Structure 1
Amino acid sequence: MTLPISPRLISFLVVTALGLAALLIMPMFLDSFSLLQATLFVAVAILALSQAFLWGYAGILSFGQAAFFGIGGYTYAVGVINFGDSTGAIALSMVIPAAVAALLGYFMFYGRISDAYVGVITLTVTTILYELSNSTSGDQYRIGSAQLGGFNGMPGLAPFNLPGQPDQWLDEKGTWYVAMGALLLIYILLRGLLSTWFGRVVVAIRENETRAMLVGYDVRFYKLVAFSISGGIAGLGGCIYAAWGGFVNPSVFALSMSAQAIVSVLVGGIGTLVGAIAGAVIIQALINLSGTQSIIDPSLGIGIILVVFVILVPQGLLPSISALVSKLKPKQLAPQRLGHETQEVKP
């Protein structure tokens, strides 16, 4: 007798196959400009994934994911200028935001800050970093050979290169392979993490923190680890964003970036990783579209989308579509045992 395949496993395999297809096929059909734009979509999708994991599974709503996104971007910029090689800069763009998230999370979670104040603190940190990066325009504000540039930012950043070969820069296709490969790998790793004992504990804490604490789990530790992982993922998104444009400035810390991540998760559906990716693509596509005309401001557009989805589609796109599909499926009634005979109940 063959065992039934879990629907979650099927969805995982389907999404992975689609991701691999996009990774390999899109460079065959898109020109350099379109492929470069697709890389931008990947960067914001990674940011949305970090928010989806933290909020949808760990139950921690951060209003400041742009803080780690921006730290990752600036870390890559400083690292690639000083090292002359993107390999170490990419690694640091994940390690440093994760370390900052761990430090911030330690004071929040071990200080037993309530969930509402976690959102306020992360929002405040993002605002501070935005103002701080804007005030570093003097020549004295530099890290090694890298001048921070204040509101002008850090232009002329080198793109990704082959590991250990700084002279072998990657073109648009190579950058796409790195970015999309990173997105697919993060998705696979997060799905794997959530299926482990650690992931199940994190979800249990989201469902009932008090009960998890009474069972004996150190809730603060699990929240801290989840928060740190989320910061590292957002930092990688910022790294790809900086390499994509060859430029980074204080706008990576803007509140609109954090809002974009939150709205992407809401649009796709809280509690689903694929939904966050789909939501990020939809939101970024609308932002790009609004940038080509002057009818509506992108930030206003994001606000309108947020209000519409909260009122009309509170579950998000993917959960709503899934619920609709389940309703349309014909229901199979289990056979009922009547006396000594088993009869099938017909509709």
Structure 2
Amino acid sequence: MLESIRRRINETFIGEIRRLARLYEETRRELEEQGVKRRSAFILAFFKRIIDDYRESAINRIRDRIRSYLAFYDLLRASLPLFRDRAKILFEVERRHFYHRDKTIVRIRDQMLAELPEETRNRIIDALRQATLGKHVPTQVLMEEPLLRWFLQRYMLYYQRYPCKHSSFAIKVTPVTIHFFKGWNTTYYVMRFIRVKDLKHDPYLEVARPVDLYFTMQVRKPYWDILNTFTYAESGTMDSSDYVTIARDDKRQSFIRIPLRRAILQPHHIKRGFAKAVGEPELTDSASHCSIYAILQRRPRTSRYYSAGLRRDMIAKRKLRAVRDVTWSLGLRG
């Protein structure tokens, strides 16, 4: 065993060194016969011969490989008549498309709403319309109609559970809601959330772009807390071809806009955009979302601010948010 290893070393490593030594001696003798005695000339000529040998060997290897490929191709062409019309189908594999969890849930809820009796479905759609117009549904009605309460808790942002909860009466945009409310003046919003422990910056990674001050302040929250954001995402007419903003920069300007149909049917774009907005694209798998939501026939104050082209500090300067951020920074909360 050891003898074979020594022989292999002599044939490869040591043999190559000896070959280079012989090549150097041959080069030196040839130059001395020509009257050249400078050592630098010996070394330069030696390296030129090495490069020429390597180039020639590489060309030969490529030529041999091409010849082998051509020979194999000729073999396949010659043997093709022997196998033609002799293949048999042993089994078939049916291709199935596995939906994402969020997309599957939305599809099931839309199917449940669409398959309801017409009278019941119209009553629920009317209740959703009244709720998104800002009219609070009485508690007595919610208690008497559990089916209506169930759909309100799934489609209205106001009735959902934290962290997908907000004080706005916004309706979830799905293929079914687009069908019933198409053509209405709509203000779109995107709802995302992430754990604060995931939002805290990694000391070994640098943020690639300036981050909104709001996200910078939230990292001071306890690590177990959850940050949810409800961001303005353009206006439209409840059409699948409308464009929505899923990420804004530190100046609250839109830098990622996608069609509404893509935001609904490919929701991973929202998570990716949120991760880029906080300056950490690697958090795509840690971020979550509840989007897209829409407010019908009403233009909230935030949308009017963006339409007026106000500065970032005018849009972000809210009394409640300022108080909340100051109390967090002073350690008076949590």
TM-score bracket relative to the smaller structure = under 0.3
Query: Which of the pair has more CA radius of gyration?
Result: 2
**Bigger RCO (CA 8 Å, 6+ sep):** 1
* Bigger strand share: 2
TM (norm. structure 2) is 0.23
TM (norm. structure 1) is 0.22
